[in-house]
Structure 1
Amino acid sequence: MRWKFTFEESRQYVTVYTPIETRYVIPEAPSSFQSLEAVMMDMDGSSTDTEKLVLKAMRQMMREVLGNPQFRFAREDFPHIIGDSTTNHVRYLVSTYNLDPAQLDHYIDIYYRRYHQTLYDIRDGKITETLIEPMPGLKEFLTTLKQKGIKIGLVTSSLKKEADIVMPEVFKRMGMDPDYESFYDGVIAADEVGEAFLKPHPNLYVRIAEEKLNVQNKRNCFVVEDSTAGIIAARVAGFAVAAVPHPGTRDHSFELANLGVMKRRLPEILERNLFLAYT
């Protein structure tokens, strides 16, 4: 169990057990807005589709570790290896496939070696297979926010050097300037908070709001997330959340996504008029 929800005196709490046990209150969040100051978006699974890339590297890691070149993941593995930090993904695989827990860091190193090599091959044009794509409707969603003068933040549990390959590729595929950092009002990656405080801890969302976007009122913002860990992080940070399930996270729990679950993902946020009427 990585987290547990409890209720006390009409307040909801979540205790996060990994890697540091911490108990958080889950504050109430608005379900509509009088004005909208900022939208913060998760990268992998919400803004970008890197599932094929992540699973390719994770599968290569397992094949190397098990010495089995035919290894394939079971369907029930997918909710546990998509949508969270790499460490938690590998922890799950160690437990499920009876690997040596003392070798966790070694397994993670193998994953990152495989993952980064694939990223560099994409960057250098050595891979023709499409492993990175924008999520459906991303360009329209981002440009609509810009036109309305709403700040946009990009949040990722990936390393910055990984985002610096993934996001330019995504922007190029949308026909936009690959200098993605000049488009967003704020970008934050795992490097800035450290492995111990990634999602479901709230640190990424707290820091981007306060330090990058200069948010004045959390109740005038919302977050777009596709995973349970990300939704918990955003809600604990005090923000409303719209869930945009990715095929790899469709078995996650979205009960804390107080703005609803967008089965058609980003286009449905526009269709539901979550912000257009208030700006």
Structure 2
Amino acid sequence: MNIFANHKTAVDKLSQLSDDFVLIQNPDYVFPEYEVTPLAPKLTAPLQGTIGVVMDMDGTTTTTEELCIFSLEYMVRQMSGLLTKEVWEGLNHNDYPFIIGNSTTKHVEYLISKYQHTFQRDAMLRAYFYSVIWTLNLGHDEGRKKEVRDSLAALNCKELLESRHFVDFLAIEHSQAETDEFTDFIKNVYGNRINPASFSELVRIGIDIYYQKYHQILRDLDLGRRDDIIASLSFESGRKLIEPMPAIGIFIALIKGWLEDDIVRLIPQLLDSYRKKMNKDFTVKNMDLLKKDLLDTSDYFKKNPAKLAVVTSSIAYEAQIVLQEVYNVLQEEVRAWEISHSRKLKIEMMFSRYREIYDGIITASDSNEIRLKPHRDLYSIALHTLSIPKKDFSKVIGFEDSESGSIAIRAAGIGRCVVVPFNQTSGHNFNASSLIAEGGLAEVILKNSELIYE
């Protein structure tokens, strides 16, 4: 039932929903400017039996945030013409709180607001038309292609889509030199039609440039061109392009009930993971008690496997490639675990079919760009997908690495929000969280009373 309310009634109704609220800024083109959102009561005491876990993907499950940051920096460089580190060092820790954890639109809005004064029209238009040509020619996501076509129409270039020369060019794959030449031709013919007079039009252009670069990386990854990508990103030698976050494999195997008594054999690995993250040792006051606690936790999840959902502001196409790569690496990690052979084979087999591990895979494709984090929608969809009723939300744990993500978890009605920050999100405001595990998932497991209490 819809209730039309005056100011006093609205305030009264809101006050009944929660004691904690957050003001969520909407994208520039959305009314109202912001929304007042109630948050679930923060739960800090050990839970009385965990039944569900919802986890962010980028930054919590995997390392893909660095690829997103690289693609956002690429966008700024292309729009400004500041192509080298000699003329611009690039994005830094001052930018990270505003470009990690939100929707792509909000990330791009922030960067355009900050760097718009450096933009060069010619460089920006060339980068934009290149992104259009690449996406429509080589892109794999139909939703992204539709958005590119819509942007062309909004920017007064709809006729380009109907050009026979343009349609013929998109029909086959071309060399880089041919694409560059065609890009210059299209820019010279249609560039004068684009006069981004508004902030939202600049955001449209920026979004298309960002996604082109990110999807190019994912396409090359899918085609097995890992070494070429790593070289272009200046990653250190031997590093994998996409890696699982430390201890994520052990954590998933634990809450799914697969480890049983082998959990204690993984204590050295957990301690090592914590040490590498924190540059100090985890203090074990009583090893026998730690083993007992871990065995009790493992036994609980053997009897009560947790429902598990992964949640991401990435679209489905991106998530599929990323998760497949993550679980390829996790299979390699499992082979090195010092656990029983039969259990190792079982977990390795399960990790070879990642879709069967998750009871829900929730992506931006399940919602809309204007309703991504810090809005609750993705996590609300996850809870519904897991068939967890509202009365049991207090038995769900949400894991995030960003400020926006932690707000989204609480806004969805989940009171236990555990933040596992990494380097680029360490400066975020985590007031919405009920626990900050700076040592990552290894710390969460080693302090397992935060996970489960009976």
TM score, norm. by length of structure 1: 0.91
1:52–1:15: structure 2 CA closer, same or farther, 3 Å change rule? closer
**Is 1:158 matched up with 2:314?**
yes
Q: 390, 409, 421: which is aligned to 1:245?
A: 421
After superposition, where does 1:49-128 map in structure 2 within 5 Å? 49-70=63-84, 71=88, 72-98=90-116, 101=199, 102-128=201-227
Q: Confirm or deny: 8 A CA contact 1:159 1:189 kept in the other structure.
A: yes
What SS does the aligned partner of 1:242 have? strand
Q: Confirm or deny: 8 A CA contact 1:29 1:219 kept in the other structure.
A: no
Q: How much has 1:8 moved relative to structure 2?
A: 6.3
Q: 397, 406, 427: which is aligned to 1:222?
A: 397
Unmatched 5+ stretches in structure 1: 1-6
What SS does the aligned partner of 1:196 have? helix
After superposition, where does 1:14-53 map in structure 2 within 5 Å? 14-19=22-27, 20=30, 21-31=34-44, 32-53=46-67
- Structure 2 distance, partners of 1:276, 1:34, is 7
Q: Confirm or deny: 8 A CA contact 2:47 2:452 kept in the other structure.
A: no
Partner of 1:4: none
* Aligned-pair Cα RMSD in Å: 1.8
Q: Confirm or deny: 8 A CA contact 1:52 1:132 kept in the other structure.
A: no
Deviations 1:228-256 (A, max 9, x none): 11111110111110010021111101111
- Structure 2 distance, partners of 1:11, 1:52, is 36
4+ residue runs over 3 A deviation: 7-10, 176-179
Amino acid at match of 1:262: A
Amino acid at match of 1:183: I
Deviations 1:62-119 (A, max 9, x none): 2211112114123311221222211111111001112562311111001000000001
Amino acid at match of 1:119: L
Mean Cα deviation higher: 141-150 or 50-59: 50-59
- Structure 2 distance, partners of 1:61, 1:215, is 40
Q: 176, 185, 193: which is aligned to 2:367?
A: 193
Partner of 2:251: 141
Which protein has the bigger helix share?
2
What SS does the aligned partner of 2:309 have? strand
Which protein has the bigger strand share?
1
Q: Confirm or deny: 8 A CA contact 2:379 2:408 kept in the other structure.
A: yes
Partner of 1:261: 436
- Structure 2 distance, partners of 1:82, 1:14, is 18
1:178–1:53: structure 2 CA closer, same or farther, 3 Å change rule? farther
What SS does the aligned partner of 2:20 have? strand
Amino acid at match of 1:232: I
What SS does the aligned partner of 1:133 have? coil
- Structure 1 distance, partners of 2:394, 2:327, is 29
- Structure 2 distance, partners of 1:261, 1:146, is 23
Deviations 1:5-63 (A, max 9, x none): xx969812112121353211112143221111101000001111113211221222122
Q: How much has 1:276 moved relative to structure 2?
A: 4.4
**Is 1:234 matched up with 2:344?**
no
Greater Rg by CA: 2
- Structure 2 distance, partners of 1:54, 1:27, is 30
- Structure 1 distance, partners of 2:35, 2:110, is 20
What SS does the aligned partner of 1:14 have? strand
- Structure 1 distance, partners of 2:38, 2:104, is 26
TM score, norm. by length of structure 2: 0.57
Amino acid at match of 1:87: T
- Structure 2 distance, partners of 1:59, 1:17, is 23
Q: Confirm or deny: 8 A CA contact 1:159 1:191 kept in the other structure.
A: yes
Partner of 2:153: none
Q: Confirm or deny: 8 A CA contact 2:60 2:401 kept in the other structure.
A: yes
